[in-house]
Amino acid sequence: KPQLANRVHTLTPSTTLAITAKAKDLKEQGIDVIGLGAGEPDYNTPQNILDAALKSMNEGKTKYTPAGGLPALKKAVIDKLQRDQELSYEPSEILVGIGAKHVLYTFFQVFLNELDEVIIPIPYWVSYPEQVKLAGGVPVYIEGTAKQQYKITAQQIKSAITDKTRAIILNSPSNPSGMIYSETELQEIALVCKEANIWIISDEIYEKLIYGDAQHVSIAQVSDDAKERTIIINGVSKSHSMTGWRIGYAAGNKQIIKAMTDLASHSTSNPATTSQYAAIEAYTGTQDAVEEMRAAFESRLEIIFPKVTAIPGFKVLKPQGAFYLLPDVSEAARMTGYVSVDAFVEAILTEANVAVIPGSGFGAPSTIRLSYATSLDLLEAAVARIDSFVRSKW
């Protein structure tokens, strides 16, 4: 048995991946399983982006690039931030990395010292706590309850701040809740962060997936001070259906970006060159496909939301963005005889043949996450299966 580094002993493997693996096993046994676990759009990358990638390869642009990204891609990101958020950045304030996930990982590695605390709102994206811990930091959780629309308040942050607090993570629109912070809420949060002099990591990866009259505001937009203490994290994965290309970026303080770039120069060399050319086209080319995909997700949501609401024992808030529903199913699990939501999720998989993600992985163990990034036919069939499963056991 090999001896492993202490730092991996607290690492919890992604719950999302565990259920997906089990669903795959069942499928291989010939069972018709519908997966609602997906964390990615079900569309191919738009054609203009594929074409740009191919063109760059044919032109021989297949070598190393600067560690923090091609100058042309940094410029495309800067123009995007100016266009969409009216925020100005210099190239020295931008790092392009291997997906938002690895950009975040790099950030925590250069930012945290042992036992530094990072405030993480519940429900959270699974990787935040693990990444903080891997950098020697301590996740401090505060809970955004369903009553608070799964959002945390400035007051809660204030109460959680200690002399070890270095930063807070915000994710709006949120994975898994789909909720969006309003400008007023962000102003209040920014003020608390200013008073305590802590940093803000703003994960805006679902920025383009917004429904109804909801609006995306970046916390960096609310004041000059907020901009200075915020590191924006974003990328092309969800907006342009480019999850496999692995391109994300960070925008913020020059010294932090320089440290991240230096670390990248020894850990990654650069994000894949072809992917960078694809991302340039994603940000500078037509945005028609972005809006088409958004509209498709919204129409699915409109159809599927009432059906999920009608499942006995499911309590669900209507999401404002992203592509997930987060019903509280504690009553459904109890009334159908399961000791926990995790056990209920397992039964939904093995008996109703629908794969959903248990909320325990997000710090919200009374919930499950259903992704609607799948075709309407499959979505309707999956919800009907869950509905009759619950009714048959009630």
Return the amino acid letter for 296.
A
Asked if 305 and 297 count as a contact pair (C-beta separation under 8 A), the reply is no
CA–CA separation, 122 and 86 (whole Å): 29
Between residues 124 and 338, which has the closer beta carbon with respect to ligand PLP?
A: 124
CA–CA separation, 373 and 38 (whole Å): 7
Between residues 99 and 359, which has the closer beta carbon with respect to ligand PLP?
A: 99
CB of 201 to ligand PLP, least distance (A): 10
> Taking the CB of residue 99, how many other CB atoms lie within 10 A of it?
22
CA–CA separation, 37 and 355 (whole Å): 6
CB of 323 to ligand PLP, least distance (A): 10
CB of 388 to ligand PLP, least distance (A): 30
Between residues 220 and 332, which has the closer beta carbon with respect to ligand PLP?
A: 220
Nearest residue to ligand PLP, scored by beta-carbon proximity:
99
CA–CA separation, 308 and 386 (whole Å): 9
Nearest Cα to Cα of residue 73 among 194, 181, 234? 234
* C-alpha 236: how far from chain center: 12
Between residues 235 and 359, which has the closer beta carbon with respect to ligand PLP?
A: 235
CB of 123 to ligand PLP, least distance (A): 11
CB of 324 to ligand PLP, least distance (A): 9
Between residues 174 and 336, which has the closer beta carbon with respect to ligand PLP?
A: 174
The partner residues of 328 in beta bridges, in order of sequence, read: 315, 367
Nearest Cα to Cα of residue 39 among 243, 250, 284, 266? 243
CB of 240 to ligand PLP, least distance (A): 11
Asked if 195 and 164 count as a contact pair (C-beta separation under 8 A), the reply is no
CB of 31 to ligand PLP, least distance (A): 26
Please give the residue ranges that form the binding site for ligand PLP (CB under 6 A).
Answer: 39, 99-101, 125, 171, 175, 203, 205, 235, 237, 243, 248
* C-alpha 289: how far from chain center: 20
| CA trace torsion 65, 67, 69, 71 (10° rounding) | -70
Q: What are the phi and psi torsion angles at 21 (to 5°)?
A: -65, -40
Between residues 15 and 237, which has the closer beta carbon with respect to ligand PLP?
A: 237
Between residues 53 and 311, which has the closer beta carbon with respect to ligand PLP?
A: 53
